[in-house]
Amino acid sequence: MNGLIKTTQRVIQSCVKNTSLTSALVSRTQAPVKRDFTRGIWHMTCSKRLDGLQSTSSLLHNHSNTCSCGCGLKALHTKGERELVEFLTEEIVAERKAQKVKALPTEVEGFTVKGDGAEVVLTKQLKDEIVRITFNVNHTVDSEDFGEGEVQADKQEFTEMRSKPQFEVDLVRGDSTLGFTCSFLQEPPTPGDEYSDIFGIDEVTLYKGEWSDKVYAVAGDVLDGYLYDLLMNLLEEKGVSNEFVQKLSDFSTAYEHSAYINLLEGISKFTIGKQ
């Protein structure tokens, strides 16, 4: 890849990156991003819900022999609790119907997947090192915006929610780790431009043993342009390419959606009193 062309492209891309990145680089933690409230708007505004929900919802209106208040389900004694469980019952079915990936893969492009709550770790063993990618799906979801001139075919359809997390790439050799903090660029690459990257390096660090705040880290946007390009090439050689990062986003989107549905189910069980 031509170094001069890549350097020029990087300068252009860096102009659209969030200017607040520099102040948060050394933390190696992901800053919260507000979720756009678009996931369930269509479901809440529909006068008629998805098929098969009436029988489930009607259960909440039936009088219960175990409760003198007639709440319909044991332990649901308030109007707010009944309405919450009623809505969640319908919303969970709607979200499961919209779920694109029913079973999460255990491997992504040769990386073994391990999830622990909101955190995901992808690991691949190479000849003399381990490539480890870590990210957290919390506060990573945003709606895909429509481009100029594009018209939404059905206004009842809500825009797709995608997860684009900041992620750590650690190249581990023995007790030494070369670490990269990377994030998705805010502006998508120009179609047909082979030198455009969909992600960039926010910071680079090198340390022995466990990472701590004492470890020095340098911001990616102050690196020498040619050095930055060489580091991007290194990541690509280790499997962290544009294509892989796009698939990482696909997996993160599916993982986050599954976690969201589990949260809705947990809130429903908590409200009913089955926790």
In order of start, what are the domains of the chain with their CATH numbers? 3-37+105-256 (3.10.280.10), 41-99+260-272 (no CATH)
Q: What is the mean pLDDT of the chain?
A: 77
| Phi-psi category of residue 43: left, alpha or beta, with phi > 0 → left and psi -120 to 50 → alpha | alpha
Cα distance between residue 49 and residue 43, in whole Å: 7
Cα distance between residue 251 and residue 240, in whole Å: 14
pLDDT average, residue stretch 64-77? 51
The pLDDT value recorded for residue 161 is 85
* Residue 26 confidence (pLDDT) above 70: no
* Residue 193 confidence (pLDDT) above 90: no
The number of beta carbons lying within 10 Å of the beta carbon of residue 70 is 10
Highest averaged pLDDT of the listed ranges 8-22, 26-40, 73-87, 110-124: 110-124
8 Å CB contact between 97 and 257? no
Cα distance between residue 141 and residue 161, in whole Å: 6
| pTM, two decimal places | 0.72
Q: 82-136, pLDDT tens digit by residue?
A: 899 999 999 999 999 988 888 999 999 999 999 999 999 999 999 899 999 999 9
* Residue 258 confidence (pLDDT) above 50: yes
The CA distances from residue 30 to 20, 119, 127, in Å, are: 12, 11, 30
pLDDT average, residue stretch 55-73? 47
The pLDDT value recorded for residue 129 is 96
Residue in the block written with tokens 């431009």: 193
As beta bridge partners, residue 163 has 141
